[in-house]
Amino acid sequence: MTFSFAANFFVFQPRTFDAPGQATKFVIVTAISLYMIQNLVIYLTTNVWQLPTKWANSLAQKSQFTCHWSESFVSKNTVKLLATGCSLVWNFLWYRYYVYV
């Protein structure tokens, strides 16, 4: 997390340097991403909107490389991939327009 905070200074190149303030914002945004966004997406795509996992299982069965993967394995990893993607977008937008301004 420390490396990510420091590396993002090179990515976003903020106009000002306020390490304590930016570090606090960074931790808050990252914590929301890890503990709220990801868990919400995992819950919703596991219990409410299961279409993505159905599509992924259908695609996995059509490939000779993935046809032996269990439905549980494909479903769990599809949900995790979606949660990670949502987290990535959340983090990028908040880092860009809130943390590293």
Every domain of the chain and the residues it spans: 19-99
Query: Can you give the pLDDT at residue 8?
Result: 95
What does the buried/exposed string (b/e) look like for 42-76 if buried means 16 or more CB atoms within 10 Å of the residue's CB?
A: beebeeeeeeebeebbeebeeeeeeeebeeeebbe
Residue pair 100/22 in contact (Cβ under 8 Å)? The answer is yes
Predicted TM-score (pTM) above 0.85: yes
- The segments of the chain whose pLDDT lies below 70 read none
Per residue in 71-98, pLDDT (tens digit) is 999 999 999 999 999 999 999 999 999 9
Residue pair 12/22 in contact (Cβ under 8 Å)? The answer is no
